[in-house]
Amino acid sequence: MKDVKTTARKIKALEIQGARNIAVESLKSLAVYAKNIKAKSKREFFSELKKAEKILISSRPTEPMMKNTIKYIVYMSDANELEKINDIKKTAVGYINEVLKSLEESKKKIISLGSGLIKKNSTIFTHCHSSTVTAILKSCRSRNIKVICTETRPVYQGRITAKELSDAGIKTTMIVDSAAKDFIKKCDMVLIGADAITLGGIYNKIGSSMISHFAEVYDIPLYVASESWKFDPETITRGSETVEKRSPDEIWSKPPRNLDIINPAFDFVEKEEITGIITEDGIITPDAIHESFRRNHSWMFD
């Protein structure tokens, strides 16, 4: 369980950040663990696998991509007649590799679709660090694009974006989050990632809803780059995600006594403010992503 615990700790500490990286690293640690589970029966094997599932999922409650992919692996590995532990292990690891491969494929499709939206000499506004967004932007580096990125308080994931893009030779400007309004106005497009997708919209890094409001006010198209794995089926009945609140220390490590600090990690962008979600199934609306999720992941609705 060492790898699983280390990965969960790194996710909590933000050493691993971004929905996709979190899902990929969790799956990799689960593969190492599944290979080494010492179980005498199928029941014992799945009980151990589910312990790891719980540890990983609870490291970041607002991450359906990690939750959905792990649940898929547990479900598929359990849904067969195998009894020999070695066969069960091989099957589970096989499903993990299959999902990791499919994530690579879907990322390629998203990059290709996203890149099709970005015109020569255009200016793109982004927020936080989304590996999907930076991959799209880097694929357009020969088009003389400019990127405006926020620093992303409180823990500055915008610096990861800024470094990645400027290292790739893209003209990148960083602003403080609260300067967003006047810069969005001058952009051709806002492009952000997503942590979770619901019927009503998407969740992404805190500040995303402020950005989407300004994009709407100034009539700037706002696209979200995300795999359909980020749709959260639990929100079909529950409605919304529970937004994780992070440590007040991230905002002020030695605050005055009696000061209340609240540090939500994500906020909600309503579907009316989203021009399109760039997914492996095409550029679609949040409503359509629900259908695409149901089609691609029918196992969840059995």
Among 7, 26, 62, 132, binds ligand RUB (CB under 6 A): 132
Among 7, 17, 69, 279, binds ligand RUB (CB under 6 A): 17
For the chain, how far is it from start to end, CA to CA, in angstroms? 30
Burial class of residue 270 in the structure, from the number of CB atoms within 10 Å of its CB (0-12 exposed, 13-18 middle, 19+ buried): middle
Amino acid sitting at position 63: E
Residue found under tokens 């971004």:
18
| Given the residues 128, 140, 149, 187, the one annotated as active site | 128
- Establish if 204 lies at the interface with ligand RUB (CB under 6 A): yes
Amino acid sitting at position 261: I
The mark string for 244-273 relative to ligand RUB (x by CB under 6 A, - otherwise) is ---------------------x--------
- Establish if 29 lies at the interface with ligand RUB (CB under 6 A): no
- Establish if 68 lies at the interface with ligand RUB (CB under 6 A): no
**Size of site (CB under 6 A) for ligand RUB:** 17
Q: In the window 278-297, what residues touch ligand RUB (CB under 6 A)?
A: none
Is 267 a known active-site residue?
no
Cα 214–Cα 219–Cα 224 angle in degrees, nearest 5 = 70
| C-beta separation of 175 from 147 below 8 A | no
DSSP state of 240: S
Contacts of residue 160, Cβ cutoff 8 Å, sequence gap at least 6: 17, 129
Is 195 a known active-site residue?
yes
Residues that bind ligand RUB (CB under 6 A): 17-21, 128-132, 157, 193-195, 204-205, 265
- Catalytic machinery residues: 128, 195
